[in-house]
A and B are shown apart, each in its own frame.
Chain A
């Protein structure tokens, strides 16, 4: 099995299991880690912007099927997050947990901000209040949760440092 397929399968499984089994256990009010976003970021760091974009789109589409009224929103946010993470990987300093966590947190905040922007534009939510009460703490939490997962991915040899 090629490294790409192995990486994609492992990260897809991580996203599904993380979001369905682990995330409910780690939820505090509106604050919860986004395992699928972490998976997209790791995929982008491992395989580049193309894989991150497509992987983010597919994972987002899977998430969107659970809320048909927002179909396309997660696909858009996650594909852009995957693209951004892939582009950032050239400047990414592997092995420094603070950098890894902060990068994921920034991407998560951008991802959630885009969500809120679209929702507020369509009149289904306000923007600033959930941005500071839910999106920001969730982004920080996602960044913290991402650190051990990125370290584990690196130890498993999923991250491609040579690219």
Chain B
């Protein structure tokens, strides 16, 4: 390097001092607005890279701190989840001991969708099974994704009309998996539903999973209770939650897991079972999906 500022005469040193002092005084003498503008430009050139690097280092430090606290939180949540699982199993064992739980497993009978009838009053599909089925009114019908409807009218030993969940006027007793809050599911349009009668102060979050509840639903004051669906059949996921100030209940929009526009093979649920629990397994929509998928595999030649 040819650059060497160490060997200078006194004259050049004096000159450098004079130039630097003149420049500095010139900067000091600038009008305020110009000074700020010049400082901005100089800051971008002189300190910008260092500032960005310092900010990056600070960010890394902050992220490391956050990671440490998140790890601790994850560990605590895992521990809580394990104890919740234990409590859930104990609760189910107690319910079973008291005869409150129908632990007999349900069977899934694969059915082919043969016809669809869409009317102003109801959306129905005609399903036909390979084997004879003991059809019952309100027997649930599901896909690998989740609940699609319930048997409306048997049409022979191996066929039945199924009322789809999005049929006008359908109300299904449901509950949220995370909190156990009950609500009534009503169709809105397409694959979207309204989960009604959930109090405005209740804890509901977008992403909460909705499953069927075995709590009976009374529609109208003098009505007889409908036959309930088994508890825990996957239905949908909360996609929007509002708490209108003038209403007592939340406005909860639920998107169904199953698609009603592409129904090809469905499964009639024979027997009840309890789909929310399965011998210690955590409640999960994959429970039904796995069972249904297994049946599909068996049904295929």
Q: Is the CB of A75 within 8 A of B5?
A: no
Tell me the complex Cα distance, A49–B8, Å. Answer: 8
Given the known inter-chain contacts A69-B32, A83-B17, please indicate yes or no for A2 contacting B24, CB distance below 8 A: no
In the complex, chain A residues 59-94 whose Cβ is within 8 Å of any chain B Cβ = 60-62, 64-66, 68-73, 75-76, 79-80, 83, 86-87
The interface stretch among B43-51, B135-143, B202-210, B225-233 is: B43-51
* 10 sampled A-B residue pairs with Cβ under 8 A: A4-B5, A47-B5, A49-B16, A50-B6, A53-B16, A69-B35, A69-B36, A73-B28, A75-B23, A76-B21
Judge whether A51 is part of the interface by a CB distance below 8 angstroms: yes
Q: Is the CB of A1 within 8 A of B1?
A: yes
Q: Is the CB of A68 within 8 A of B39?
A: yes
**What residues of chain A lie closer than 8 Å to B26, measured between beta carbons?**
72
| Chain B interface residues (CB < 8 Å from chain A) | 1, 3-8, 10, 12-13, 16-17, 20-21, 23-30, 32, 35-36, 38-40, 42-43, 46-47, 50, 54
Q: Is the CB of B27 within 8 A of A48?
A: no
Interface size on A, residues (CB 8 A): 39
Judge whether A5 is part of the interface by a CB distance below 8 angstroms: yes
**What residues of chain B lie closer than 8 Å to A2, measured between beta carbons?**
1, 3-4
Q: Is the CB of A4 within 8 A of B3?
A: yes
Central interface residue in A66, A70, A72, A86, by most chain B CB within 10 Å = A72
Cβ distance B28 to chain A, nearest Cβ, rounded Å: 4
Given the known inter-chain contacts A48-B13, A49-B8, please indicate yes or no for A57 contacting B1, CB distance below 8 A: no
Question: Which residue of A is nearest B42, CB measured?
Answer: A65
Which 6 pairs, one residue from A and one from B, show the smallest C-beta to C-beta distance? A72-B27, A68-B39, A76-B24, A65-B43, A72-B28, A79-B20
Given the known inter-chain contacts A50-B16, A72-B28, please indicate yes or no for A64 contacting B39, CB distance below 8 A: yes
Interface of A is mostly: helix
Count of A-B residue pairs with CB < 8 Å: 115
Cβ distance A80 to chain B, nearest Cβ, rounded Å: 7
**What residues of chain A lie closer than 8 Å to B10, measured between beta carbons?**
49
**What residues of chain A lie closer than 8 Å to B7, measured between beta carbons?**
48
Judge whether A27 is part of the interface by a CB distance below 8 angstroms: no
Q: Is the CB of B8 within 8 A of A48?
A: yes
Q: Is the CB of B28 within 8 A of A80?
A: no
Question: Which residue of A is nearest B28, CB measured?
Answer: A72
Tell me the complex Cα distance, A69–B39, Å. Answer: 9
Q: Is the CB of A20 within 8 A of B54?
A: yes
Question: Which residue of B is nearest A83, CB measured?
Answer: B17
Judge whether A163 is part of the interface by a CB distance below 8 angstroms: yes
**What residues of chain A lie closer than 8 Å to B32, measured between beta carbons?**
69
**What residues of chain B lie closer than 8 Å to A144, measured between beta carbons?**
none
**What residues of chain A lie closer than 8 Å to B13, measured between beta carbons?**
48-50, 53, 83, 86-87
Tell me the complex Cα distance, A47–B39, Å. Answer: 28
Central interface residue in B12, B16, B25, by most chain A CB within 10 Å = B16
**What residues of chain B lie closer than 8 Å to A143, measured between beta carbons?**
none
**What residues of chain B lie closer than 8 Å to A79, measured between beta carbons?**
17, 20-21, 24
Tell me the complex Cα distance, A2–B1, Å. Answer: 6
Judge whether A136 is part of the interface by a CB distance below 8 angstroms: no
Q: Is the CB of B3 within 8 A of A5?
A: yes
Q: Is the CB of B46 within 8 A of A68?
A: no
**What residues of chain A lie closer than 8 Å to B6, measured between beta carbons?**
4, 46-48, 50-51, 160, 163
**What residues of chain B lie closer than 8 Å to A134, measured between beta carbons?**
none
Question: Which residue of A is nearest B40, CB measured?
Answer: A68
Q: Is the CB of B46 within 8 A of A62?
A: yes
